[in-house]
Amino acid sequence: MNGNPLSTNQRTIAPRPPEAVMQLAAMGASHATRLSFMRILLRRLKRENWRYERRIFDFDGKGVGTAVYVAHGPQHAYSLVCFGHDLPPEMRSDRVIATAWDATFCLHDGIPDSTTIERLRHNIPLQEAGRVTASELSVSRANRSVRLFDHVVDSLAAGHQPDIARLTETGYLMRTTAVYGSGKLGACDREAISGRPEFEAPFQVEMLSVYLTRTFILDLVEAMAQKRSPDSATRLDPKLRRSLGVGNSTGLGMAPFLVNHPALLNNWISAREQALARVRNLDSATPQQITLFTDLFQHARRNAIQWHTDNAMQQQRIDTLNANLANVSNQMLRKLLTSPRPWNALYEWAEATLCAEGRELVAALLLEPHGELVDDLCRTMSADES
């Protein structure tokens, strides 16, 4: 356990009350934490030394083709089967009623043979109109962010890197319009694989699918550039690759999902709040923890400066957040973190001083130096709703 346990002569700090945490404004200001689904997955992949293999990759200059990426874990292998399509502009839509996409995917349990790939080729591009089997764990699709996607391919084909400002403005080259799991379209039910350690926490199948999809997208733009201009094409700078994620068209399906699965939502929020309470109850902070926290705080501040949105209300909140963070120095943070119950002192300072986004950012960062203390809570985030 990091830090010192609670002294017997101090009151125990309880988790924040639901009436405060579950306000829409507070939920909307939440930030990703080390208990977020993708973070849980990435820690496992690193801890268990998963191995990745691009088993098949055959695409033309228009992005039409097939790829298979295999993730090898300690006991199981999982394959993202990818199909690229030449989608006419008039057919490109992020709406749920769309019938064609720039790329379609499935996460297959194991390594598919040629017969399986052909079966998937006749079904995955159809999405809802197709059918899969219990050997498939997820079905998904994605569309290009056309102007940026083309800019990156054109730049690489010409032998130079794309414009960093344009990459930063959007942050992704393709966006998913759906990632289906848990029995959708005939795919495997979650209960059949939830006993596997890698899928114990929620949405690990979907996160693995998206993680491999990101790799495919970045490989695709390089391959298309190479096909278009073999003599001059270059690869994407590793720093730029790391800066790009996968977009999400709307996340609209999450709204009814949360309404219909209150036990799951309760467990997710409860895990985060229990983690925060554990940290706030610690009596001290080590020099290493203080350094890590201040480094992460400054990184978060630099990152927030890059946030931009077309929504005027949210942009105003971001501007307020940046103004708040600009006034926080490492000296101030270190002073708070050397006081009694340092993490709670920092939390209470943020509650009294910062805007909602700033308060929730500090709450998220407080968990970062304390993996040994809080990471076990990821095992409490699933729910048996049968």
Kindly state the tokens that stand for 129: 């109109």
Residue 106 is predicted with a pLDDT of 98
Does the residue 328 lie in any domain? yes
Q: Which position has the token pair 């848990």? A: 182
Does the residue 124 lie in any domain? yes
Does the residue 13 lie in any domain? no
Residue 98 is predicted with a pLDDT of 87
Residue 3 is predicted with a pLDDT of 57
Q: Which position has the token pair 């295999």? A: 70
Residue 306 shares a structural domain with residue 336: yes
Last residue in a domain, options 184, 219, 252: 252
pLDDT, tens digit, 9 for 90 and up, residues 123-159: 999 999 999 999 999 999 999 999 999 999 999 999 9
Does the residue 90 lie in any domain? yes
Residue 332 is predicted with a pLDDT of 94
Residue 110 shares a structural domain with residue 209: yes
CA dist., res. 251 & res. 228, Å (int) = 34
pLDDT, tens digit, 9 for 90 and up, residues 226-245: 999 999 999 999 999 999 99
Last residue in a domain, options 252, 286, 301: 252
Residue 130 is predicted with a pLDDT of 95
> Which segments in the chain show pLDDT lower than 50?
1, 8
Number of domains in the chain: 2
Contact, 381 vs 204, CB < 8 A?
Answer: no
For residue 342, give the nearest of 279, 271, 384 by alpha carbon.
279
Does the residue 7 lie in any domain? no
Residue 343 shares a structural domain with residue 235: no
Residue 158 shares a structural domain with residue 105: yes
Does the residue 3 lie in any domain? no
Domain that includes residue 67, residue range: 38-252
Residue 334 shares a structural domain with residue 189: no
Residue 186 shares a structural domain with residue 49: yes
Residue 271 shares a structural domain with residue 318: yes
Residue 109 shares a structural domain with residue 219: yes
Residue 89 shares a structural domain with residue 159: yes
Does the residue 4 lie in any domain? no
Last residue in a domain, options 224, 252, 280: 252
Residue 276 shares a structural domain with residue 220: no
Distance between the two ends of the chain, CA-based, in angstroms?
A: 35
Residue 193 shares a structural domain with residue 82: yes
Does the residue 24 lie in any domain? yes
Residue 156 shares a structural domain with residue 287: no
pTM: 0.93
Q: 49: which DSSP letter?
A: T
